[in-house]
């Protein structure tokens, strides 16, 4: 099997390439330096050349514009990358008749209520980023039959910035932080997620899925556990989202129903607290 990964230098893409290598699955990683996915002709040319060199069997599409607040001021660009770029990838996947996995987000929902979101729930994005990812989902669904749409949330990994790195930096600098306690979800560790995505891509169990580490928490709970495991004496104050005005509205409810994974024989990710422990060891902060 040979798998093409877009966004290969990103937080998830880089871990995916490592996981594929561990499984002795041949992979090709491309990033913005190799391909502008918003250019339909270039996307077709580059991916078809990769396929001509040696046939690819699947595409895992991780490349995306992910700066959620900046997206509010750059709607055209975000839509071009996350929606039109995804369409361009999907069209090539259709031409080559290969499976495509599209990495999406809980932001495609309105973020209200307390019930965990199920994969086939009505989508109603609450910000520009979420709307662009939603449009990307629609293109994948309209163009392909062999597709996985995998929605993730609260992602952290070794590459790039994330909430954990920010908390540790602020905790060391200030000794105290305020963190919102009215947004509930599940952190997702990219090495754990990568194992699941590779488990999925070698099957034909297509459809929409949700994938996060197990367990729920607020960002406040997450921060408290970070400092506890990192053995840092930091005062953490819980506050409402209103205390931190941001450009892009954030979901209060990011709970995700993952029963479809179990129903299709996929192993759920470990508890987020365990993932955090392993991540801090990797960072040298535990």
36: nearest Cα among 80, 96, 102: 80
> In angstroms, what CA-CA distances link 220 with 15, 44, 265?
27, 45, 33
232: nearest Cα among 164, 159, 182, 160: 164
CA distance 62 to 71: 17
Contact 68, 127 (CB under 8 A): yes
The residues assigned a catalytic role are 129
Contact 148, 123 (CB under 8 A): no
209: nearest Cα among 83, 99, 118: 118
> In angstroms, what CA-CA distances link 23 with 3, 107, 158, 164?
12, 31, 20, 29
Tokens of 163: 């909430």
């Amino acid at each position: 099997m040979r798998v093409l990964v877009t966004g290969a230098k990103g937080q998830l893409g880089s871990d995916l390439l490592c996981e594929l290598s561990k499984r002795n699955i041949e992979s090709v990683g491309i990033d913005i330096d190799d391909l502008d996915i918003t250019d339909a002709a270039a996307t077709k040319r580059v991916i078809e050349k990769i396929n001509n060199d040696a046939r690819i069997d699947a595409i895992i599409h991780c490349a995306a514009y992910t700066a959620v607040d900046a997206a509010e001021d750059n709607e055209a660009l975000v839509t071009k990358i996350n929606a039109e770029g995804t369409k361009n990838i999907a069209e090539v996947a259709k031409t080559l008749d290969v499976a495509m996995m599209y990495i999406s987000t809980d932001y495609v929902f309105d973020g209200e209520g307390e019930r965990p979101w199920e994969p086939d729930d009505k989508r109603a994005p609450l910000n520009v980023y979420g709307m662009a990812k939603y449009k990307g989902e629609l293109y994948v669904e309209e163009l392909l039959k062999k597709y996985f749409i995998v929605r993730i949330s609260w992602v952290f990994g070794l590459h790039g910035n994330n909430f954990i790195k920010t908390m540790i930096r602020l905790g060391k600098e200030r000794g105290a932080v305020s963190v919102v306690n009215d947004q509930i979800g599940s952190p997702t560790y990219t090495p754990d997620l990568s194992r699941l995505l590779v488990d999925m891509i070698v099957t034909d169990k297509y459809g929409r899925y949700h994938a996060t580490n197990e367990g729920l928490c607020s960002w406040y709970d997450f921060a408290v556990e970070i400092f506890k495991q990192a053995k840092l004496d930091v005062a953490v104050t819980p506050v409402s989202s209103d205390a931190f005005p941001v450009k892009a509205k954030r979901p209060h409810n990011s709970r995700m129903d993952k029963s479809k994974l179990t129903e299709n024989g996929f192993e759920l990710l470990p508890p987020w607290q365990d993932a955090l422990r392993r991540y801090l060891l990797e960072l040298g902060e535990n």
